[in-house]
Amino acid sequence: MNKTIKKWLTCLTVLALLPVTSIKADNLTPIKRIEWKGSNSEASTEEPSTDSEETMEAEESPEGEQERTDSAEELSTDQISHESPLEFVKTLSRVKQRSLEYVSFAKGEETMSLLSHTLHKDGDRYFIAQVYPPFLPYTQYVESDRQSIQQAYLSIDELKAYAADALEQQPQIYQESPVAQLHDFFQRNEAAPDLSDKCLVIDPQNSRLGPIVMDMFTIETFLMDVIEEWLGYDSVNEAFMETELGIQVDIHGANGELFNQIAQERMSNYPGIESFMEQFSQGIAGTLMINYDKNLLGLGLIAEATDELVTGSEIYLEASEDALPPFAADQLITTDQFNELVGFDVLKELNEFEASLTADQFVPVEESGE
């Protein structure tokens, strides 16, 4: 299990997978301003371009279109189709073992801020990792039918590593905190094997990352729904280009307006998607990339692009061979049992303390000196 955790907590290579041209403002074709449902943005009165109208009139929507559901039969990795971009997306998005990474970024002239969530799926079991520099990474396991979180777990080994990393990397923040108390507990009981490889059973209502998991379900299903319909148009397939990273197609011009039209029409089927879509008040522009060799779909979306700032999101969907076996009964420990051992309400106090922190309290790791 620790091997899986380490894999999904490796350093991010955001903006490296997709070509640089996908995030440069001067390479984006302007799209008419869109007022997403639930957004406060003002709608533009600009009319769609003539080219866009002609394209949409000339091509009919793909036949046999069906609304995507999460109840579709799950596939194995060897069932992923490379016949066409459309068939690839249809099958990749239904693979039993897959990972979804969602990165929000803001890139200035000299700085970049990132918030990354990686969700690894194995049937109805999920592992989620949050990376939000300069804050410490945070991970959880959940079980879900994608309608709600049935159960959540937190690895004791990861909790122990989190406390040790906090004291080593940012002592000025954590030395007088519940994190230090937790670290002291682990130090005093270092020789005791009782907690090794065990997991805390967390009430789903108290799962810090549970709401984010549900949001990622919605984002994944919505985007795959939009992309599948979009890839059913000849104009989109004819625009794919070969690159050293795979094949890619830009979301701009007539094809970009088509993508936005489909997205806007689909929004009503996905309650809660407004919070994701509101960042694209100018409409969606970007790049979609497919790498058949890696069974990887990459989507780079621009929310705002100026000379001083580029903001947006990147989404990566990839097939995986990593399994998340269910926990054995003797691996589980309740939060009440753990709190009694440690001497305080661990998760409550840790969550409250972390919520009180601000980015300016952190010292860059390379300067923390130890």
Question: How do residues 135-144 score in pLDDT, each as one tens digit?
Answer: 999 999 999 9
DSSP labels, 5-17:
HHHHTSPP-TTTS
Answer yes or no: pTM beyond 0.85.
Answer: no
Question: How do residues 16-57 score in pLDDT, each as one tens digit?
Answer: 343 333 332 233 232 333 333 333 333 333 333 334 343 344
The residue extents of the domains of the chain are 2-355
Reported confidence tier of residue 70, pLDDT bands at 50, 70, 90: low
% of residues, the chain, pLDDT over 90: 67
Q: Is the pLDDT of residue 4 over 90?
A: no
Name the residue with higher pLDDT: 35 or 75: 75
Res 191: pLDDT: 58
For 110-136, b/e burial (b = at least 16 CB within 10 A) is eeeebebbbbbbbeebbbbbbbebbbb
Q: Taking Cα atoms as reference points, which of 219, 250, 262 lies closest to residue 65?
A: 262
Tokens coding 112: 């970049």
Question: How do residues 112-139 score in pLDDT, each as one tens digit?
Answer: 889 999 999 999 999 999 999 999 999 9
DSSP labels, 320-336:
-----PPPPGGGEEEHH
Question: How do residues 215-260 score in pLDDT, each as one tens digit?
Answer: 999 999 999 999 999 999 999 999 999 999 999 999 999 999 999 9
Name the residue with higher pLDDT: 366 or 270: 270
Pairing of strands 199-202, 332-334: parallel
Side chain identity, residue 241: M
The answer to whether 83 and 292 have CB atoms below 8 angstroms apart is no
Rounded to a whole number, what is the largest CA-CA distance in the chain?
Answer: 73
Q: How far apart are CA 150 and CA 204, in angstroms?
A: 7
Q: Is the pLDDT of residue 334 over 80?
A: yes
